[in-house]
């Protein structure tokens, strides 16, 4: 993973406003248009290795599933920000919360 891609992923995540979310694939799509490389798995790898300094809880799967292994902390942060959640409160409602730069 090159530094330019890592920085691009982290920069994109930093721009996601409170109360909104982006899917790993959506970030990959945005960066693919700009940098021509990477996919959802690469975005996930960047977030796993370097995402602690950015609002990582705003990055979820396309179905709104929270970051694996960090669901409790992510849910707490998302609810505190007023992010639209599914009826059962376990996923981000991506229809209402999805954000694109």
Predicted pLDDT at 83:
98
Give pTM, 2 decimals: 0.92
- Rounded (10°) CA dihedral 42, 44, 49, 51: 120
C-beta atoms surrounding 86 within 10 Å: 15
Question: Which residue would you say has higher pLDDT here, 34 or 71?
Answer: 71
Domain housing 41: 3-97
pLDDT at 1 over 80: no
Higher pLDDT, 32 or 64: 64
Nearest Cα to Cα of residue 18 among 72, 86, 92: 92
Predicted pLDDT at 59: 98
Count of structural domains, the chain:
1
Nearest to 9 by CA among 29, 22, 27: 27
Residue 92 pLDDT greater than 80, yes or no: yes
Q: At what angle do helices 3-15 and 24-35 cross, to 10 degrees?
A: 130
Predicted pLDDT of residue 34: 64
Residue 74's domain is classified under what CATH number? 1.10.10.10
The rounded percent of the chain whose pLDDT value lies above 90 is: 89
pLDDT score recorded for residue 38: 83
């Amino acid at each position: 993973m090159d530094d330019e891609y890592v920085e691009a992923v982290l920069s994109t995540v930093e721009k996601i406003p409170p109360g909104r979310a982006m899917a790993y694939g959506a970030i990959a799509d945005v960066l693919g248009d700009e940098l021509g490389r990477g996919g959802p798995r690469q975005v996930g790898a960047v977030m796993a290795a370097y995402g602690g300094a950015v609002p990582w809880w705003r990055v979820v799967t396309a179905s709104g599933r929270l970051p694996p292994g960090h669901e409790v902390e992510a849910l707490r942060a998302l609810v505190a920000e007023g992010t639209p959640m599914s009826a059962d409160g376990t996923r981000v409602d991506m229809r209402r919360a999805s954000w694109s730069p």
